[in-house]
Each structure stands twice: as structure tokens, then as C-alpha cells.
């Protein structure tokens, strides 16, 4: 049941991904290459307290991310229908991507064995990646604690 996928390496090209999105069109990382920095954040599940707080944090600072030339993309294993409801309910101004088969989560090394109340299961470990305009991984925030995380990411982008 354990997964052995490793995180991408800072300074190396990001895995290339294309996933269904809340725009109705698939979104690929390569469409931002040369144009925008991508904040790609993986979160466990729509409508859970930590995930909602994290999404709303990115929502509330979206204009600041735009000022530094960054686009925000959220990824979880939830289906598009769930993402659409989550996005609408919390007025999220960025796209959510559906990684239902966990292929992208595995490619980024964030699909891990988790333990909740003694029950083991596979799921996403909350992790954020900064992918620069050249398509390389600029920063990784593994095992994210929601409190202060969005500000930390914005601070990193402001220093770039």
C-alpha cells in the first residue's frame, strides 16, 4: 500500500501534466510556460476544514499573486462536479483540477499512505509547488500546515 514516489527536484523541469478543470477545458502546465509562474497546490479533499481554509486563503490574496505574475491551480482527487460546487460555494477565482486516478498526484510524489484514527488509506499529502516560467520547479512546500502558508508562498514569489 505504501507509495515510493519522490517529490520533483527543485531546479529540474516539472512533470508535464494535463487535467480536467473547472473551466470545462483541460489545463496543462505547458500552457503557462514562458508566461506565468504556477502555484500548483495539492490538497486532500473539497469541503474539508483545512482545504477550505487554504483555498479561501489563496482566494483572498489572488490579486497579490496576479501582481507577481502567478496563476493558482488547486489539485485534488475529487471529481469535477465536486470541484465546481466547492469553487462556487467559496467563490474561488482560480481553477481546480480533477486528478481522479491520482496519476498526477503520484507523478508529483504527493499521493501517500495516510493514517486517520488508526485507519490506513492512500491520499494526497497537502503540498504546494512553485513552477517558474521556464517550467522548472522553483520551490516545494511539503506537508503544508495551512496557517500562514499562503502568505509564505506569496513572500517567496515576491522575492523571486
42: which strand partners? 75, 127
Positive/negative CA dihedral, 149, 112, 30, 98 = negative
- Annotated catalytic residue 56: no
Report the C-alpha gap between 155 and 61 in whole angstroms. 12
User: Could you tell me the end-to-end alpha-carbon distance of the chain, in angstroms, rounded to an integer?
Assistant: 39
Q: Identify the active-site residue in 29, 51, 110, 138.
A: 51
Q: Name the residues annotated as catalytic.
A: 51
Amino acid at each position: 500500500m505504501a507509495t515510493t514516489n519522490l517529490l520533483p527536484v527543485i531546479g529540474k523541469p516539472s512533470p508535464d501534466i494535463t487535467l480536467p478543470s473547472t473551466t470545462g477545458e483541460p489545463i496543462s502546465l505547458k500552457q503557462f510556460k514562458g508566461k506565468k509562474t504556477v502555484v500548483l497546490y495539492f490538497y486532500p479533499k473539497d469541503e474539508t476544514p483545512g482545504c477550505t481554509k487554504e483555498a479561501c486563503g489563496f482566494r483572498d490574496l489572488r490579486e497579490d499573486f496576479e501582481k507577481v505574475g502567478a496563476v493558482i491551480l488547486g489539485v485534488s482527487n475529487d471529481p469535477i462536479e465536486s470541484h465546481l460546487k466547492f469553487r462556487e460555494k467559496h467563490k474561488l477565482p482560480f481553477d481546480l483540477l480533477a486528478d481522479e486516478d491520482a496519476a498526477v498526484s503520484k507523478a508529483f510524489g504527493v499521493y501517500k499512505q495516510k493514517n486517520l484514527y488508526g485507519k490506513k488509506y492512500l491520499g494526497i499529502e497537502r503540498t504546494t509547488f512553485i513552477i517558474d516560467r521556464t517550467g522548472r520547479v522553483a520551490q516545494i512546500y511539503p506537508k503544508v500546515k495551512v496557517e500562514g502558508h499562503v502568505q509564505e508562498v506569496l513572500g517567496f514569489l515576491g522575492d523571486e
